[in-house]
Amino acid sequence: MRLIIRDDAEAASLYVANYIIDRIKHYSPTPANPFVLGLPTGSSPLGVYRILVERYKAGEISFENVVTFNMASPGDEYIGIPRDHPESYHSFMWKHFFSHVNIHPSRVHILDGNAPDLEAECVGYEAKIRAAGGIDLFLAGIGEDGHIAFNEPGSSLASRTRVKTLAYDTILANSRFFGNDLTQVPRMALTVGVQTVLEAREVIAIILGARKALALQRCVEQGVNHMWTLSSLQLHPHPMIVCDEDATLELQVKTVKYFKSIEQVACAQGFEQILPSRMRTGPRQATTSTPPASPKTIITPSVEPAEDVTPESPTIFAPQPITSQLLRPQTPAAEYPVRSVSPDLVPDRMASRIPDPRFTRRLTPNPEQQQMAALVLGA
Amino acid sequence: MPLATAPGNGITKLTNCRLVRGSDLVWDDIWVSSATGKILRSQSTFYDELILPDETIDLGGRIVSPGFIECQLNGAYGFNFSTVLDDMSQYVKQVRDLNRRLVQTGVTSYVPTVTSQTSHLYKKVLPHLGPSGRTRVAEDGAESLGAHLEGPFLNPGKNGVHNTKVLREAESIADLEEMYGAKNINPAVAGTALPIPVKMITAAPELGQMTKIIPELRSRGIVCSIGHSEATYEEASAAVAAGATMITHLFNAMRPLHHRNPGIFGVLGTANNNNDNDNNNSSRPYFGIIADGIHLHPATTKIAWNAHSAGFILVTDAMHLVGLPDGTYPWTNGGEAADHFITKKGAVLLLEGSDHTIAGSSIALLDCVNNFLRWSGASVPEALRAVTATPATMLGVQPAKGSLEAGADADLVVLDDETGAVEGRGRSLAVHQVWKFGAKVFDGASEAEAGEGL
């Protein structure tokens, strides 16, 4: 795991925005091979969106060939927040990002909390992610209880996109958007699952502020635990957490120092996150023939039939490894970067390194031979 | 169809601009469609229809206002609506030319005003002055919302420049129908689904049975306005209770405010609690203000604003001499021939042979807005409201006009904020672009370039 610590929220947001822009530029997405970006809502990523919009307006980045999937959407068939509600995630994403950049609406995906069949909506969402070739980079925020997307404490770490009831803390936190009226806050939400996030080729979580400090500590310094779903990132091959100083308040000094030193060394060596070059440039044509990858037609708006999605919840039948079945042929876990390996020790004689031919005849000093020689000389 | 041959969906996104929303200037984008002529709900266009705009225009921080609505315009560019031509097809052509030129000043909708005339003239011209926006053609320029008949049921004591010879009193609605032509003010007689040509009538309520006629006019969708009147406070209040919702050029051609008999102006001081059951009639009326610096003292304008800002409407009362050089011009005033003369000296129009009878104005509506901005200390959105949302509500054309909300007609004025640009001028706005039905019909920047090229 990489933990990037910046002095303040602005600097942390800038780091994330620059990282995303660099990734997209390296990838050089095309209409046939778009960059697939997972996006969060909430207050933490606001700075990132603002900087992305600024950079777009400055002509430094294009989102033309970027496909996006949003993590979660509050939806409640009882209250029914319409898409145009100012607090809907459609409105959030529109206001802070989509309305300002050149992303095409057919490449934007947000779970629809008002869909007539919510189960079908969830299954279809996973199918769409698959059809887009999987998510290249999932940007995430977290809650104070360490939830990633709306995967509240206690969520299965093998969960997939589904309807989720919200924790009381989340409802309380969200009530500020609904005039502090708890009865107006949706009780349920559609959200991608922990597994869905972990299947992304890369995950970046942005964590800002002292209120998130405990969650960060749990997720970084303690074990994988479904009560802090972000901790599941420890199982991902390429996780990165970007935080500000305030968010590190609960971490041990040695943890902070360790991750800062890693970053310094990495910078000195000229790399940030170690990713296989295939992931960076995304030549997915090599893997298109493998069964799980769908043809490269991007996004059919209609929900695909759920035939190949039958194991929505594989754990019911048999425990599955955390690493995805879906993306296994191209999953990062199968593609660790090749490092130069230190050669095995092959001992040699000191004498062989000396060019003087007289020495080549000499054997390694041997006490027995020396004794023999002394006897001969003495005789 | 405006430029329907252009490829794509005809949607334009205006960005980097400040929208007039209520009493605020809001940084936001606005999407307009030249196909429907309306302002789009951008978010649902994006998510539901999966459409991106054909074109994005960066307005560099300029102000976007709803198109201006002029409630009292007698003519312009040498053409007077109160004119009978031998060949009435020429009249139609002149109105069209006027519309195309008027729109360049930011006035996207207006109420062509006919002064006190003979019955013959009304019947001739009214069929050509009715609402013209039905076809929704941007290139036609400014759109008539229906005619305003300022007379002839006016008080001879407050005639202004109206010819007293043609002024009449009405005893019944039949008198009005006879004067204006029944099919012009009576939808039943007109026998067509199209709106009747007349939108608004200015009359003196104290004469004849006018106050009793007001409810009938209202039921036909005609706005009744008090003006050119000697009405006392009580008479004016009765007219308002009967359904008059407007006062034509407040302070001009009416009794001045007296503290013991406040007259028509006093109606604005009424508490809003009489006739509570009759919701519309109980509210204070709207009123027109000519902010040209000649008709009214700046302080008077401010007093009217403070008295009832929600009813404050800026009008020009401009004559056909607007846009013409100084000089003396003939004027048909009630007679069959051009029997009067008006002397234009700068912005001042006087009836020839008098020193003080003002014969309308020759000012553009935006100049009234700028004057008002300087005199009142009102904010830019408040000043613009007096030529957009307020007149739209008065005329009953909300929400299609006078608003930047989604679903309204995409009539827009893009304004340069030139505050401080000219020494000593104070706050000032200038027209940069005008959009009608979602299509750009005037661009000050390209006009300026063309001018430099010559």
Of B44, B50, B52, the CB nearest to A84: B44
Average pLDDT over residues B158-178: 92
Going by C-alpha positions, the residue among B28, B35, B34 that lies closest to residue B14 is B28
Average pLDDT over residues B183-192: 87
Q: What angle do CA A25, A30, A35 make, to 5 degrees?
A: 60
pLDDT-derived band at B382, boundaries 50, 70, 90: very high
pLDDT above 70 for A340: no
Q: Which of A54, A73, A94, A100 to mutate to test the interface with B (most CBs of B within 10 A)?
A: A94
Residue A81's pLDDT is 67
pLDDT-derived band at B453, boundaries 50, 70, 90: very low
Tokens of B277: 């059951």
Tell me the chain B residues in contact with residue A100 when contact means C-beta distances shorter than 8 Å. Answer: 29
pLDDT digits (tens, 9 = 90+) for B95-142: 999 999 999 999 999 999 999 999 999 999 999 999 998 889 999 999
Q: Which residues of B touch A (CB under 8 A)?
A: 29, 41-44, 46-52
CA distance B43 to chain A (A): 7
User: Collapsing DSSP states into helix, strand and coil, what is residue B39?
Assistant: strand
Lowest mean pLDDT among A34-48, A199-213, B346-360: B346-360
Going by C-alpha positions, the residue among B360, B434, B392, B445 that lies closest to residue B105 is B434
Contact indicator for A149, A192 with CB cutoff of 8 Å: yes
Q: Which one of A136, A145, A244, A246 is the catalytic residue?
A: A145
Can you tell me which residue has the tokens 């802070």?
A96
H helical segments located in A270-344: 277-281
pLDDT above 70 for B22: yes
Tell me the chain B residues in contact with residue A66 when contact means C-beta distances shorter than 8 Å. Answer: none
Lowest mean pLDDT among A40-49, A260-269, B348-357: B348-357
Residue A77's pLDDT is 37
Of B29, B47, B50, the CB nearest to A83: B47
Look at A85 and A192; give whichever has higher pLDDT. A192
Of B43, B50, B51, the CB nearest to A84: B43
Prediction ipTM score: 0.78
CA distance A186 to chain B (A): 22
Q: Which of B43, B51, B56 to mutate to test the interface with A (most CBs of A within 10 A)?
A: B43
Q: What is the CA radius of gyration of chain A?
A: 27
Q: Which one of A121, A152, A202, A244 is the catalytic residue?
A: A152
Average pLDDT over residues A131-140: 93
Non-local CB neighbours of B416 within 8 Å, separated by 6+ positions: B62, B63, B429, B430, B431, B432, B444
pLDDT above 70 for B422: no
Q: Which of A90, A103, A107 to mutate to test the interface with B (most CBs of B within 10 A)?
A: A90
Residue A295's pLDDT is 37
A84:B42 CB<8 A: no
Contact indicator for B315, B72 with CB cutoff of 8 Å: yes
Neighbouring C-beta atoms of residue A183, cutoff 10 Å: 8
DSSP bridge partners of B343 = B328, B350
Measured CA to CA, the distance from residue B39 to residue B50 in angstroms comes to 17
Q: Which of A81, A84, A88 to mutate to test the interface with B (most CBs of B within 10 A)?
A: A84
Average pLDDT over residues B141-169: 92
Q: Which of A87, A99, A108 to mutate to test the interface with B (most CBs of B within 10 A)?
A: A99
Q: Which one of A147, A236, A238, A244 is the catalytic residue?
A: A147
Non-local CB neighbours of A349 within 8 Å, separated by 6+ positions: A364
A352 to A57, A130, A346, A348, A357: CA distances (angstroms): 67, 61, 13, 7, 9
Chains A–B, number of C-beta pairs less than 8 Å apart: 34
Look at B395 and B272; give whichever has higher pLDDT. B395
Domains of chain A, CATH where assigned: 2-334 (3.40.50.1360)
Non-local CB neighbours of A202 within 8 Å, separated by 6+ positions: A23, A136, A137, A138, A238, A239, A240, A273, A275, A279, A332
Average pLDDT over residues B389-417: 95
B29:A99 CB<8 A: yes
Can you tell me which residue has the tokens 């014969």?
B359
B52:A98 CB<8 A: no
B43:A91 CB<8 A: yes
CA distance B47 to chain A (A): 6
Residue B4's pLDDT is 42
Percent of chain B with pLDDT strictly greater than 90: 68
Residue A311's pLDDT is 42
Neighbouring C-beta atoms of residue B291, cutoff 10 Å: 31
Of A90, A105, A301, the CB nearest to B52: A105
A99:B44 CB<8 A: no
Query: In chain B, whose CA is at the least distance from the CA of A99?
Result: B43
Q: What angle do CA A24, A26, A28 make, to 5 degrees?
A: 70
Tell me the chain A residues in contact with residue B52 when contact means C-beta distances shorter than 8 Å. Answer: 102, 104-105
pLDDT above 70 for A315: no
Residue B328's pLDDT is 84
**DSSP secondary structure, A15-28, as one string:** HHHHHHHHHHHHH-
Of A100, A104, A110, the CB nearest to B52: A104
Sheet with A188-191: list strands edge to edge.
Answer: A72-74, A188-191, A162-165
Residue A107's pLDDT is 93
pLDDT digits (tens, 9 = 90+) for B311-369: 999 999 998 888 788 888 887 776 656 667 888 887 788 887 776 777 778 889 999 99
Residue A342's pLDDT is 62
Query: In chain A, whose CA is at the least distance from the CA of B15?
Result: A100
Contact indicator for A138, A200 with CB cutoff of 8 Å: yes
Query: In chain B, whose CA is at the least distance from the CA of A96?
Result: B28
Q: Which one of B140, B292, B317, B416 is the catalytic residue?
A: B317
Query: In chain A, whose CA is at the least distance from the CA of B55?
Result: A102
Query: In chain A, whose CA is at the least distance from the CA of B58?
Result: A57
Query: In chain A, whose CA is at the least distance from the CA of B28?
Result: A95
CA distance B62 to chain A (A): 17
Tokens of A43: 């207050």
Look at B322 and A130; give whichever has higher pLDDT. A130
Report chain B's terminal Cα–Cα distance, integer Å. Answer: 32
User: Collapsing DSSP states into helix, strand and coil, what is residue A147?
Assistant: coil
**DSSP secondary structure, B263-283, as one string:** TGGGGGG--TTTTTTSHHHHS
Domains of chain B, CATH where assigned: 11-66+406-453 (2.30.40.10), 68-395 (3.20.20.140)
Of B43, B49, B52, the CB nearest to A90: B43
Tokens of B446: 């390209």
Measured CA to CA, the distance from residue B71 to residue B202 in angstroms comes to 12
Angle of helix B173-180 relative to helix B210-219, nearest 10 degrees, comes to 70
pLDDT above 70 for B191: yes
B43:A108 CB<8 A: no
Query: In chain B, whose CA is at the least distance from the CA of A97?
Result: B43
Burial of B100 (0-12, 13-18, 19+ CB in 10 A): middle
Contact indicator for B133, B169 with CB cutoff of 8 Å: no
B46:A99 CB<8 A: yes
Tell me the chain B residues in contact with residue A91 when contact means C-beta distances shorter than 8 Å. Answer: 43
Percent of chain A with pLDDT strictly greater than 90: 45
pLDDT digits (tens, 9 = 90+) for A99-126: 999 999 999 998 887 888 888 889 999 9
**Annotation marks residue A112 as catalytic:** no
pLDDT above 50 for A298: no
Look at A308 and A103; give whichever has higher pLDDT. A103
**Annotation marks residue A76 as catalytic:** yes
Contact indicator for B227, B116 with CB cutoff of 8 Å: no
Can you tell me which residue has the tokens 């925005």?
A17
Of A94, A99, A106, the CB nearest to B50: A106
Lowest mean pLDDT among A129-138, A159-168, B10-19, B343-352: B343-352
Q: Look at strands B412-417 and B63-66 and give their pairing.
A: antiparallel
pTM, two decimals, is 0.80
